[in-house]
Amino acid sequence: MALDKNSTSYTLTFSVVMVVVVGAALAFTALALKDRQDANAADKKMMDILSAIGVDATRDNAGELFGQYVKSRIALDIQGQAVAEENGTLDLRNAADPFNIDVMKDYRASIKTVAKEKSGDVAGLKQSLASEDLRFPLYICEKDGARIAVVPVVGSGLWGPIWGYVALASDFQTIYGTQFDHKSETPGLGAEIKESFFTDKFTVGKKINLSSPTLFEVVKGGAPTTEYSVDGITGGTITSKGVGEMMNRTLGIYATYFQSQLSTQASR
């Protein structure tokens, strides 16, 4: 019997077969490219960390320069206590390496925790805190004989995620450099957080205030600033506030560790 290509059963069967074939092909392609994608993401992360300490790197030399300048990779818990440290060669398959911590994923988890706290869901909050094993990476670098601590920061802008790295001098207070980026902020406005005219503001005698609940602020563009603040981008107010919020919130996790390190240094 001849196959009726105009029948409903033929159309449905053909559609199902095509979906299965295409789906399998896409899954195979994604799996085959995963190692390369992970390597590209790692190269970009290394380039951004190096950029925060003023070292220009490319995908070709990021690994070499990262090994040259980054001397230690530390993981802190939510209390600001060091719980892991790696000094050797990076292994992207080693989940215990602080470099492989997904800070954006942990940020989303912390947002859910805060939502439970604000809603008064005490039981949900306790369960969330008990189930979450949040870790926060810290990179200890050396450049020109000086030790520099680099902290990743993540937050929300006007239209989507924003992130970056803040480098601190050996006193854990003076800002050495910054590197910010975004996913979908407005060109010419919030998207300017990644430009040097904005990031350079953080390196002109600016510090984080370890003795205050508000460690650092990004104030409205043109407003007066102190050594613990910079003025934001005119027309990009919400994104600028997002930068200040993510710096203040994230660095707050690290403040306990910084203070303990300063106390140790003072006692020597």
* pLDDT digit string (tens) for the chain, length 268 residues: 556 666 677 677 767 777 877 777 666 665 555 566 778 889 999 999 999 999 999 999 999 999 999 999 999 988 889 999 999 888 888 988 999 998 887 777 666 555 544 455 445 444 544 445 788 999 999 999 999 999 999 988 888 889 999 999 999 999 999 999 998 888 888 889 999 999 999 999 999 999 898 999 999 877 889 999 999 998 888 999 999 999 988 898 899 999 989 888 877 7
pLDDT at 122: 47
Of 138, 123, 127, nearest to 83 by C-alpha is 138
- Given this model, what pLDDT does residue 4 score? 61
pLDDT at position 5: 60
Distance CA 225, CA 223 (A): 6
Please count the CA atoms within 13 angstroms of the CA of 149 that sit on its side-chain side: 22
Residue 130: per-residue pLDDT: 47
